[in-house]
Amino acid sequence: MTPASAAAHAAPATGTILKLDDVSLSFGGIKAVQGVTFDIRPSEIRAIIGPNGAGKSSVLNIINGFYRPQRGTITFKGRARSYMSPYEAARGGVARTFQNIALFKGMTTLDNILSGRLLKVRSSVFEQALQVGRAVREELDQRQHVERILDFLEIEHIRKTPVGQLPYGLQKRVELGRALAMEPDLLLLDEPMAGMNLEEKEDMCRFILDVREEFGAAIALIEHDIGVVMDLSDRIAVLEYGRLIADGAPEQVRNDPAVIAAYLGAKR
Amino acid sequence: MPAVTEEARLPDLSVRGAASDARAAPRDQATGSESDDTFPKVLLRRAKGHASDPAVREKEFGIWQSYSWSEVAEEAELLACGLASLGLERGDRVALLGANRPQFYWATYAIQSVGAIPVPIYQDSIAEEAVHILDHSGASFVLAEDQEQIDKVLSVRDHLPRLSGLIFKDPRGLRSYAEPGLRSMEEVRALGIAKRAADPSFFARAVAEGSGGDVAIICYTSGTTGKPKGVVLTFDNLIATASTMAAFEGLTGSDSVLAYLPMAWIGDHFFSYAQSALVGFPVNCPESGATLMTDLREVGPTYFFAPPRIFESILTDVTIRMENAGWIKRRLFAFFMAVARSTGVRLLEGRPVSAGQRLLYGIGRLVVYAPLLNTLGLRRLRVAYTAGEALGPEIFDFYRSLGVNLKQVYGQTESSVYVCVHANDDVRSDTVGRPAPGVEVRFSEQGELLYRSPGVFKEYYRTEDATGDAKDEGGWVRSGDAGIVTDDGHIKIIDRAKDVGRLLSGSLFAPKYIENKLKFFPSIKEAVAFGDGRQNVCAFINIELEAVGNWAERRGISFTSYADLAGRMEVYDLVSGQIEEANRSLARELQLAGAQIHRFLILPKELDADDGELTRTRKVRRRVIAERYGALIEAMYGDDDSVDFETRATFEDGRVGIVRAHVPIRQARTFAPEPVR
């Protein structure tokens, strides 16, 4: 990360990078998210768990501006607003991966990750086409950045492979790489380990921990593997039917009667 | 090292290195003067005389980064100073745990500079294996590549009281570790800068203190039996062998190697460190294990070592890709490969070839061979070695016919790599060549190969009795391998010495050699030969279900199961023909002609590791098989032409069942001995 971009991304000195306050979202009669209040601290690994349809992905979509909530405020880096525009989110350092991989299948790993650098490019299309002025230097800088990510995620060997040809686990890693290319302050991971085998999961866990350590990004992740979530996260938010039913450290959440009821069903 | 004449050193040989001209050849200009008796001294001279020549390259962030000799010397100095200020002393052991990285090569210089001894450990060894080596060597420092390796050491640290420092190259994931003695290489380097400022001549003094008789390295052999043993090699061992062999192969500073085999293996230390230093050619470290083939193509090494499986997999890859190629390409490839087979090897060995053939080969080089080799990264190869398991003759000839100078090496850690090697104009796929320059070879009564050379190891570290077992007072080392000499003076390794026996007639019986001959046939998956202390040789055959099943289907032979197929007379006819072919080839080998296969049977069940009949690496467990199939063995040595038999078999789902079968026994044709050539 260059010093300039680091400064632009620097989170305010408060204890939270993002706060959702009483946020609600509904699609017609379906209340996807109901009065959820929760925050994410800088460099924190924050898990969001809950049964299917609990509103986990909706929360991520609200954070990166894909959905517009009907009620509540979103405070990101000290600025409160009722809605994040996707551009604002991306500009401000929110990056994400998707539950169903959303890569450019026909492009190589290198180009896919490079596409994550789009917002960092300053030179114009004409400069790039003619290879004049800052365009050349900038291209070298961008490539170097991408190479560091390839090295970090240990995917040098598929640098020039079209991602459509890659196995699922590697595609997930490429997608993480593209999100990292944005130099995010807040990384949203939607089921990064779904469909992976044990070894791939272990690798991904290590990458998530390393991302935090190397890049200092806060990470909000949705994951169904409770073992992974308990080991990995600093704090866990539990959603059920769009409501926040528990929030706290893994130990605390694990023993929460409401959480146990939501997952295992309770005697009525 | 002055060149010693063959006669002076080797008075009573049974076999001699033929290349005495190479032995007497003056040492390469670059390979140094009398005083360069340790690698750090060689490094310092290179850093003065060839300061800006590339010493190490590494592909990092997609680009080949180059480090010159003066940079390597600088890094080695700083690391050496840093290690010394952490308390590393002469004679201490330092373990190296990681992949081939430039940092580990200059760490090796650094450790040797201060008189300490590097102990490289296989990077993929599990914690229990690593702990044995760390404990046995009494290492006081570990240099590890990354978090994975550090975690491995930390998990066993309680068992390693002598270990005072852990140093890592890659800080990723390690920032929050608060283990005492854990440091990054960067920190050690910074300590080195401080130490050098305080005592500028420390490094030069430390290097000057070293001498050729000092221990250069301890390499733990993988040890197929028992715990690994630490082979202690001195600078004299390595420098003598490395420079003699560099002269033998005509290596120069413009050669280059790809450093991709484990650093703990003596071969990598020899090619990528010892010879690189002495001759001055650069070492190229690949980006990662997974990018090896790409890196090979980009580097285009001139000097290359690969185990047989790599050459096999390259060939398989080429074959598959050609099968999927278009019609014209396929025809071109087939035509010119036929030309290569008939002409290429002769051209490579400088034997006479007609002008027409020469022209055809030239065209072939233009349209097929050169582009193919270029794609594989083998275009610039001058010397390619393989060793270990036998490489099939057709694979060997494939490379040689394309003009790749592929040769066999036979050696051990204990011999500083070389015992035997092919000379450029004298290569045969079924031998390991003649004794390497400076190496004397003879055979014991039992046929075990013994050798003596300047490269012979000093001892097994802290295991005197093992040293005594392997090496006698005269310096002769027992290789543990049985070998024979062909009538043209080449040496063949036929089996492990302990497995070799004799027939009642006194004829040499090497089961693995016979079995390997049989296993070259695609329809034979496994073979077990018997004969020690017997009248003649008999064998069990396991057919390869897929190959023989295919063959049977094409001929309209129906079968219901493996056991059924194995008992078909048609299959017996097929195998019988192949055994005859193996016998014919055995008949051409003087010492082994007596051990042709007389009778055989096809086992109704596949030999299986789950039943304890094979090891997990698919080696035959002779004792288990002799016990379980005793009745079958006796039947083969009897007169009946069939036997009823039942045995236990473990199915894939773990259930155990009984296999009952009526097993036919066949006589095989044998041949009168006929000498080759």
**Per-residue pLDDT, A10:** 41
Global model pTM greater than 0.90: no
Per-range mean pLDDT, top range of B122-131, B195-204, B338-347, B633-642: B195-204
- Report the alpha-carbon distance of residue B158 to residue B561 in Å, rounded: 54
Sign of the CA dihedral with B90 first, then B94, B100, and B103 last = negative
Answer yes or no: do B291 and A144 touch at CB < 8 A.
no
Q: Please report which confidence band the pLDDT of residue A100 belongs to, taking 50, 70 and 90 as the band edges.
A: confident
CB-neighbour burial class of residue A50 (10 A; exposed 0-12, middle 13-18, buried 19+): buried
pLDDT score of A26 more than 60: yes
B287 touches chain A (CB under 8 A): yes
Write out residues 206-235 of A within 8 Å (CB-CB) of B.
206, 209-210, 213-214
SS3 state of residue B336 = helix
| pLDDT band of B99, cuts 50, 70, 90 | very high
Contact A156 B287 (CB under 8 A): yes
Return d(Cα A8, Cα A164) in angstroms, integer: 34
For residue range A200-238, list pLDDT tens digits in order: 999 999 999 999 988 999 999 999 888 899 999 999 999
Chain A residues inside the 8 Å CB shell of B172: 152, 210, 213-214
Cα–Cα distance list, B386 to B18, B281, B313 (Å): 20, 20, 14
- Residue A131: is its pLDDT beyond 60? yes
B31 Cβ neighbours under 8 A, 6+ residues apart:
B243, B246, B247, B278, B279
Which of B61, B288, B297 to mutate to test binding with chain A, by most A CBs within 10 Å of its CB? B61
Give the least confident one: A174-183, A224-233, B69-78, B80-89: A224-233
Phi-psi region of A28 (alpha: psi -120 to 50; beta: other; left: phi over 0): left
Chain A contact for B62 (CB, 8 A cutoff): yes
Rounded to a whole number of angstroms, the distance from the CA of A177 to the nearest CA of chain B is 14
**What is the C-alpha separation between B540 and B604, in angstroms, rounded?**
10
Query: Mean pLDDT in chain B?
Result: 89
Binary contact (B172, A150; C-beta < 8 A): no
- The number of residues making up chain B comes to 677
Q: pLDDT class for A53, splitting at 50, 70, 90?
A: confident
Residue B509 burial by CB count (10 A; 0-12/13-18/19+): exposed, middle or buried? Answer: buried
Q: In what order do the strands lie in the sheet with B230-234?
A: B215-220, B230-234, B459-460
Query: Which residues in chain B have their CB less than 8 angstroms from residue A206's CB?
Result: 173
B488 lies in some domain: no
Distance (Å) from the alpha carbon of B122 to chain A's nearest alpha carbon: 20
Q: Do B61 and A206 touch (CB under 8 A)?
A: no
Task: Give B328 to chain A, closest Cα distance, Å.
Answer: 27
Average pLDDT value for chain A? 88
Sheet with A45-49: strands ordered across: A94-97, A186-190, A218-222, A45-49, A235-240, A243-248
Is the backbone of residue B265 left (phi > 0), alpha (psi -120 to 50) or beta? beta
pLDDT of residue B299 exceeding 60, the answer is: yes
Q: Give per-residue pLDDT as tens, A146-162.
A: 999 999 999 999 999 99
Residue range A228-249: mean pLDDT, rounded: 93
Distance CA(B40)–CA(B647), nearest Å, equals: 62
Domain with residue B137: its CATH number is 3.40.50.12780
**Angle (nearest 5°) at CA A100 between A95 and A106:** 85
Residue B25 scores a pLDDT above 60: no
* Beta-carbon contacts of residue B71 (< 8 Å; ≥ 6 apart): B55
Higher-confidence residue: A129 or A234?
A234
Contact B65, B59 (CB under 8 A): yes
Domain finish residue from B284, B299, B314: B299
Picking from A236, A162, A176, the residue whose alpha carbon sits closest to that of residue A208 is A176
Last residue of a domain, one of B274, B299, B324: B299
* DSSP 8-state secondary structure symbol assigned to residue B365: I
Q: What ipTM goes with this model?
A: 0.79
Domain count, chain B: 2
A150 touches chain B (CB under 8 A): yes
Any domain includes B5: no
Chain A: give the shortest CA distance to residue B285, in Å.
14
Q: What is the CATH number of the domain that holds B603?
A: 3.30.300.30
Contact (CB<8Å) A157/B291: yes
Determine contact, residues B235/B216, Cβ cutoff 8 Å. Answer: yes
Partners of A209 on chain B (C-beta within 8 Å) are 173
Q: Give CA–CA dist B65/B293, Å, rounded.
A: 18
- Could you tell me which chain B residue has the CA closest to the CA of A148? B61
Supply the pLDDT for residue B546. 86
Q: For the CA atoms of B19, B244, B103, B410, what is the dihedral angle to 10 degrees?
A: 40
- Asked whether residue A40 carries a pLDDT value surpassing 60, the answer given is yes
Structural domain ending residue among the three candidates B271, B299, B327 = B299
* B578 within 8 A of B521, measured Cβ to Cβ: yes
* 3-state class (DSSP) for residue B87: coil
CB within 8 Å: A148 and B61? yes
Task: For residue range B211-261, list pLDDT tens digits in order.
Answer: 999 999 999 986 555 688 999 999 999 999 999 999 999 999 999 999 999
Which candidate from A147, A159, A210 shows the least CB-CB separation from B172? A210
Q: Is residue B459 a part of any domain in this protein?
A: no
Nearest Cα neighbor of A12 from A80, A108, A105 is: A80
Q: Which domain holds residue B640?
A: 500-667
CB pairs under 8 A between A and B: 32
Residue B278 has pLDDT above 80, yes or no: yes
Tell me which of B649 and A113 has the higher pLDDT: A113
Task: Give which of B663, B443, B417 is closest to B564, Cα–Cα.
Answer: B663
pLDDT at A7: 38
Residue B513 has pLDDT above 50, yes or no: yes
Q: Are B141 and B95 in contact (CB under 8 A)?
A: yes
Q: What is the pLDDT of residue B250?
A: 96
Q: Do A159 and B62 touch (CB under 8 A)?
A: yes
Residue B172 and residue A213: Cβ atoms within 8 Å?
A: yes
Q: Does B290 touch chain A (CB under 8 A)?
A: yes
Q: Taking CB atoms and an 8 Å cutoff, what residues of chain B touch A147? A: 61-63
In a domain, B322, yes or no: no
Tell whether B402 is covered by a domain. Answer: no
Task: Give the separation between CA A71 and CA A68, rounded to whole angstroms.
Answer: 9
Domain assignment present for residue B551? The answer is yes
Give the CA-trace dihedral at B501, B506, B512, B515, to 10 degrees: -140
Mutation target to probe the B interface, by most B beta carbons within 10 A, among A109, A156, A161 is A156
**Is B430 in the A-facing interface, judged by CB distances under 8 Å?**
no
| Residue A268 pLDDT level (bands cut at 50, 70, 90) | low
Q: Is the pLDDT of residue A8 over 50?
A: no
Task: Output the CA–CA distances (angstroms, integers) from residue B459 to B101, B114, B412, in the order listed.
Answer: 28, 22, 14
Q: Which of B63, B176, B290 faces A157 most closely, judged by CB atoms?
A: B290
Distances B525 to A157, B320, B522, B548, B558 between C-alpha atoms, Å:
34, 22, 7, 10, 21
Task: Give alpha helix (H) positions in B520-646.
Answer: 545-554, 562-566, 569-587, 622-628, 630-637
Question: What contacts B175, CB < 8 A, 6 or more positions away?
Answer: A213
Domains of chain A: 16-93+191-268 (3.40.50.300), 95-183 (3.40.50.300)
Task: Give the model confidence (pLDDT) of B166-204 as tens digits.
Answer: 999 999 989 889 999 999 999 999 999 999 999 999 999
Q: How far apart are the first and last CA of chain B?
A: 39
Rounded to the nearest 5 percent, the helix, strand and coil shares of chain A are 45, 25, 35
Mean local confidence (pLDDT), B20-32: 41
